[in-house]
């Protein structure tokens, strides 16, 4: 898979992940509910790999 056009961003605590479903309930819950808490307590930093705006590719993996 070519990921050269993807964007790697640090999770913004003011804009948490809310609309995410990878099929793994534990990971969905962590990204939606726990990542901001971990960053605030300086336990972890979460980065998100995203598609550029307007890129609607699906079935990448």
Predicted local confidence at residue 60, as pLDDT:
53
User: How does 16-46 read in b/e, with b if 16+ C-beta sit within 10 Å?
Assistant: bbeeeeeeeeeeeebbeeebbeebeeeeeeb
- pTM for the model stands at 0.60
Residues 10-41: tens digit of each pLDDT: 888 787 777 778 889 998 888 888 888 998 89
Who wins on pLDDT, 53 or 47?
47
Q: If you search the block for the tokens 């993996």, which residue do you land on?
A: 61
Q: Name the residue with higher pLDDT: 6 or 55.
A: 6
Q: What is the largest CA-CA distance in the chain?
A: 35
Element housing 36 (H / E): helix 35-40
**Residue whose token pair is 């550029």:** 52
pLDDT bin (cut points 50, 70, 90) of residue 44 is very high
């Amino acid at each position: 898979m070519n990921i050269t056009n993807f964007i790697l961003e640090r999770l913004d605590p003011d804009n948490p992940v809310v609309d995410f479903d990878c099929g793994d309930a534990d990971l969905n819950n962590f990204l939606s509910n726990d990542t901001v808490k971990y960053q605030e307590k300086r336990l972890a930093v979460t980065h998100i790999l995203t598609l550029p705006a307007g890129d609607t590719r699906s079935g990448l993996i």
